[in-house]
Amino acid sequence: MAGLHVSPEASSSEKPSIPHISDATVMMDDLRFTLANRSRIHAVESSFGPAGKSLFVPGRVLVGEGRLTKLCRRRPQPKVFFLFNDILVYGSIVVPGRWNNNQKIIRLVEVHQEDLLDGVGMTNQWLLRTPRKSFHVSAASSEEKQAWMQHIEQCRVQQLQNLGVPAKGPSMDDFAAIWIPDNASAVCMRCTDRFHVTNRRHHCRHCGFVVCGSCSKSRAVLRHISSKPVRVCWVCKASMQEDADKQQKQSWKCNSMEDTPEYETSSDEEEDDDNHVSNHWFSTEAEGLATYCYLNPSHTKPPLSLRRAGQGTCRLNPAHTSTTVLTLPTSVHCVHSPGGTFQRL
C-alpha cells in the first residue's frame, strides 16, 4: 500500500482488442474483469465500515490505490487513496490495509492539479483543488508522484469526454481556498492578536487565513462549498458585500433599461397626423415676461374700452416685438403693464 498499485484489469482494458481472439474469449475476459472489479470495490467499501458510502456503480472501475501524505490543518498525516475512473476516494488509516474511516469522495471532473516544488516537511508534493476543499498531498518518491498525477488526469479527461463536457481551463474562483496550517502563524492574520488557550485558531473559508474568533464572526454563503453560511473573516465579508452591491447596481441599470416600454403609434394617431395643428409657443426670452398670468376671480365685468369693442380679449403691450391675443371668457380679463408683468384689474 506504500505506492500506487494499478489494477492489471483496468490497465489491460484500455488496450485495443486483438482481432484473432474469439468473441467467447473476449466475453470470458470481460466477465472475469467485472467480477474481479466488483470484488475489489466491495473490499474498499468494507474497509470504511458501515459509516462509509456505497461505491459500486455500473461502469465504475477501480484503477489504483495507495498511500499518500496529506497536509492537514495541524500537521501532515498519512491517508489512503483509491482512484476510480470517475471519483477519487480517500480516508484516514486505522489499521493499514484493513480498516479506514472518515471517507471522502471527490468527483474527478471537479479536480484540478498543480505541480509544486518540495516544501518544508513535504517532498514530492502537488496540489489538489476542488470546489469544496483544496489541499496538498505528497508521495514517497518522484516516480510515484508522477504516476498519481498522470492517472488522475487521464481518468478526468476520459470522464469529461464520456459526459461530453469540454475540458476548459478552470477558474480559481470555482475552487475552495487552501487552508494555512495552524502552526504557520502564532497570531491572528487579521488583527495580530496572539493565540492562546482562550483565543483559539479558526480558518476563513474564503481566503484560508488563520484568524481569531473576533475577526471571524461573520458568516456568508459560498455556493461552491456549502448552501449554508460558513465562517469568513471581516475582510472577506466586506469585500464580498462590496461586490454584491456593485452587482446589484449593475442589475438595476440593466433592468431599468429592459423595462422601459417602447410605445407604438396607434392607428387612430396615424390617421390624425395629417389634421394635427402644430403647437405655438410664446417666446419670453426677449421680454423677460413671467410664465404665468394670474387672473383675479373677483372680476365680473370687463373694462369699459373692451366692453365697447364687444370682445372679451386681453391685449399685450404693442411695444413688444410680437403681439399675441389671448381669447378669454368675457367675464375675466387682465391687461399687460409696460413693466413686463400682469396686473390685476
Q: What is the DSSP string of 4-46?
A: -EE-HHHHHHTSPPPTTS-HHHHHHHHHHHHHHHHHHHHHHHH
CB distance 90 to 80 below 8 Å: yes
Of 182 and 311, which is predicted with more confidence?
182
Long-range contacts of 19-27 (CB under 8 A, 24+ apart): none
Distance CA 78, CA 259 (A): 59
Nearest alpha-carbon partner for 300 in 259, 333, 251: 333
Of 285 and 166, which is predicted with more confidence?
166
3-state secondary structure of 283: coil
Answer yes or no: is pLDDT of 70 > 90: yes
pLDDT at 320: 47
Mean pLDDT value across residues 100-105:
96
CA dihedral 184, 188, 193, 195 (to 10 degrees): -50
Query: Each residue of 313-337: pLDDT tens digit?
Result: 444 454 544 444 444 444 444 444 4
Distance CA 205, CA 232 (A): 6
pLDDT at 313: 45
Mean pLDDT value across residues 78-83:
97
pLDDT at 250: 81
Q: What is the DSSP string of 204-243?
A: -TTT--EE-SGGG-EEEE-TTT-SSEEEE-HHHHHHHHHH
Of 128 and 331, which is predicted with more confidence?
128
Average pLDDT over all residues of the chain? 77
pLDDT at 171: 64
pLDDT class of 261 with cuts at 50, 70, 90: low
3-state secondary structure of 143: helix
pLDDT class of 296 with cuts at 50, 70, 90: low
Q: Which three cell numbers stand for residue 17?
A: 482488442
